[in-house]
Chain A
Amino acid sequence: MDRPLVATSGNISGEPVLTDNQEATTRLAAIADGFLHHNRPIVRPADDPVIRSIAGQPRHIRLGRGIAPLELDLPTGPAQPVLAVGGHMKDAVALCWDKRLVISPHIGDLDSPRSMDVFEHTIGDLQALYEVQAQSIICDLHPAYTSSRWARQQNLPLLEVQHHHAHASALAGEHPDIHRWLVFTWDGVGMGNDGSLWGGEALTGVPGDWQRKASFRPFYLSGGNKAGREPWRSAAALMWGAGYDWLPPVNGVELARDGWRKRLNTHPSSAVGRLFDAAAALVLDRTVASFEGQGPMELESLTRQRATPVSLPLAMDANGILRSDWSVLPAMLSDQVRSAAERADIFHESMAQTLVDQALGIQKTTAFEAVGLSGGVFQNRRLTEIVLELLEQHDIPVRLHRQIPANDGGLCFGQIIEYLATQQTFVEHGSR
């Protein structure tokens, strides 16, 4: 061959793998030059699992072949079988009955009809396999998630669980020995109880009773759903928000800036995943990404050593929530005197220090036994390991996910844990 040859799994980006040879040949015609088929039919498709070593342990990024369906035993179970449908991206579903819980293999992003078919098939298949019929459904609070829409159409009792509550409960469910938590739920985005885009939330409490104690000063993200794939929008939110007249090399960007100034299709966000996107855009000129998290992954790969952090001011807002102010970051991130690697080091150090500052601030008023880290941002090994080192210096124990993905693939598990906790609360109250 006089050029590179790429061999990869048979799926379109974000969609589940194609399992039928005929369908693969048709659907992938525009992408693939050749096909390697197998003559064994695939009954239950499963993507490859993805695992990353963080803090000396393998951590699941995606539950796939050989791991999922993942069966877990619970200390308590629901009165009747319950189905949790997870979120929208990297989705997986969970079925819980008696004291058993099963998490499905990774399904994918629920934008395509094929993902939707696999989603429905997986739900039917799980129930048939275990001969259990769900009597109620749990979904995310976000009404426009495909999984939430599906859940609403099922004519079964429905419980909506806030995205970051589910992340926190997913972690708590893996560590039942902890009874008073401080969980940092940092991710790309999830709809908050106030309708804004959360993703940098520090929650104290236990499943079924989470209190939001710290977050970030909101920044304004333009372009609706486009922000996840266009990191320049996150960078613009910070640069414009901090008063810089910054224009990335994007065709028509003046229009976006005018729209941002008018707050048109622009939403307040506290998502740390978007702060990482912004950093990647400013440090690496990563204006667009072909998958969510691409910029932050590239930024992490640049890091080499510990650095002196930029200190994000921490102050309490009118609702009693501590908020870290990102507005000191743009100057450092766009400082061309510093090398990209140096800025990547400082950024990771700064975000880790911010987490520690928040934890220490919360500790003044609220006792907790351990700090937990959940949400897709903590798939960042560099960030997570610095946080562990810093918290250790303050003698604060830290818990990470064991088997459940920190990303949205773990939401279904967290939704079940949240449901079981509220169900118990309800029973306890009723018996008094």
Chain B
Amino acid sequence: MTFDRHISLAHGNGGRFMRELITEIFARHLDNPGLDVSLDAAPMDLSGVDNDSMIPMITTDGFVVQPLEFPGGDIGSLAVHGTVNDLAVCGAKPLYFSLNAIIEEGLESDCLERVVKSLAAAAREAGVRVVAGDTKVVPRGNGGGLYLATTGVGLRPAGLMLGMHTIQPGDQVLVSGPIGDHGIAVMLAREEFQIKGDVQSDSASVLPLAEAAMAFEGLRFMRDPTRGGLASVGCEICSATGLGLRLMETAVPVRESVGMVCEMLGYDPYYLACEGRVVAVVAAAEAQALLEAWRATAGGNQAAIIGSMVSDKARLVLETELAGERVLEELEDDPLPRIC
């Protein structure tokens, strides 16, 4: 192999080294019936799709997380989950992916291979095929080891009416699991903290959770709370609907270990990123049923009803213990840099 230990600039020069990089690392792990590395463009087989009942959806996302590998995931699995989840919360089933890899000269090839393997496993689990891709190598010092970008294409039922415009006063707000795991796990890994009871990223596909939620007629809206966390999703909902959202502090699931790190380092879990959670707004009458459905779904066993929409000023209010109230404002500064 031409990359015994490290990626060199030659792996991006279009020649033999690059061909070997693509076949030995990318194509080998990402192998699927739709992937043909000799083509400049790939066909997407949407045969059997009724164009009147399904709408193709597309999304794209870039990934620059540091470090590349962290407890509970890595940049590879994250690049799948991030894009899968963006499609899933819009009600779409992800089918095809493209992948861009911008590699920094000097990256350990073992590390690259681990990440690509992890990406391939995540893609298989979510049922998506990587059918197109590109690799570039940039000179040492010009990138954080590896940047990835994925574009995902999926199909959404045409009749699905999801959106913040459907949200009404009285609707209930749910979250599918504990918040802040990803933000804290990545921060602890980046800063090389030596703490016991380490926190794992929640990086995962939320497809099963989204599909479970879509069975409910009263489902109004879903969003995966990534950068900016639960509070940013809440602020966005308030600003788009003109309604108030009241969250109950005691109802929002936060792991003890995450809570402890937040307490000691002064972070607010409501603003920390998740990469495997869904926030859903649902008609009050179906909130309990959705909660039960989520709790019976993989990744949703700690789901909770955390708040409700109210006819108030358009603001996100956290009800604390002992009847205190705190306005959660839109984020000014990044609480934690580069977490996705």
Q: Are B322 and A31 in contact (CB under 8 A)?
A: yes
Contacting B at CB under 8 A, from A272-297, are none
Contact segment of B25-33, B160-168, B326-334: B326-334
- A142's nearest neighbour on chain B, judged by CB, is B332
A144 lies within 8 A of chain B by Cβ = yes
A42 lies within 8 A of chain B by Cβ = no
What is the count of residue pairs linking A and B with beta-carbon distances less than 8 angstroms? Answer: 72
B215 lies within 8 A of chain A by Cβ = no
Q: Are A255 and B315 in contact (CB under 8 A)?
A: no
A2 lies within 8 A of chain B by Cβ = no
Contact of A224 among B261, B266, B312, B317 (CB under 8 A): B266
Interface residues on B, range: 20 to 34
Within 8 Å CB of A29, what residues of B? Answer: 323
B1 lies within 8 A of chain A by Cβ = no
Interchain CA distance A204-B324 in the complex, whole Å? 42
Q: Are A113 and B264 in contact (CB under 8 A)?
A: no
Within 8 Å CB of B264, what residues of A? Answer: 223, 252-253, 255-256, 259
Interchain CA distance A201-B266 in the complex, whole Å? 26
Within 8 Å CB of A13, what residues of B? Answer: 324
Q: Are B322 and A113 in contact (CB under 8 A)?
A: no
Given contact pairs A144-B332, A222-B266, A265-B266, A255 touches B261 in the complex (Cβ within 8 A):
yes
Q: Are A258 and B332 in contact (CB under 8 A)?
A: no
Interchain CA distance A225-B187 in the complex, whole Å? 19
Within 8 Å CB of B40, what residues of A? Answer: none
B260 lies within 8 A of chain A by Cβ = yes
Interchain CA distance A246-B207 in the complex, whole Å? 48
B216 lies within 8 A of chain A by Cβ = no
**How would residues 7 to 51 of chain A score, 1 for a CB under 8 Å from any chain B CB and 0 otherwise?**
000001101000000000001111100000000000000000000
Within 8 Å CB of B4, what residues of A? Answer: none
B39 lies within 8 A of chain A by Cβ = no
Contacting B at CB under 8 A, from A214-260, are 222-226, 251-253, 255-256, 258-259
- B336's nearest neighbour on chain A, judged by CB, is A265
Interchain CA distance A29-B324 in the complex, whole Å? 11
Contact of A146 among B191, B195, B317, B329 (CB under 8 A): B329
A306 lies within 8 A of chain B by Cβ = no
A71 lies within 8 A of chain B by Cβ = no
Q: Are A28 and B266 in contact (CB under 8 A)?
A: no
Q: Are A146 and B260 in contact (CB under 8 A)?
A: no
**How would residues 48 to 74 of chain B score, 1 for a CB under 8 Å from any chain A CB and 0 otherwise?**
000000000000000000000000000
CB distance from A289 to the nearest CB of B (A): 16
- B327's nearest neighbour on chain A, judged by CB, is A113
Within 8 Å CB of B327, what residues of A? Answer: 111-113, 116, 146
Q: Are A265 and B329 in contact (CB under 8 A)?
A: no
- B192's nearest neighbour on chain A, judged by CB, is A262
Contacts A/B (CB < 8 Å), 14 sampled: A12-B322, A29-B323, A30-B321, A30-B322, A112-B327, A113-B327, A114-B325, A144-B329, A146-B329, A149-B329, A223-B264, A252-B263, A264-B187, A264-B191
Residues of B within 8 A of A (CB): 187, 191, 193-195, 260-261, 263-267, 312-313, 315, 317, 321-327, 329, 332-333
Residues of A within 8 A of B (CB): 12-13, 15, 27-31, 111-114, 116, 143-144, 146, 149, 222-226, 251-253, 255-256, 258-259, 262, 264-265
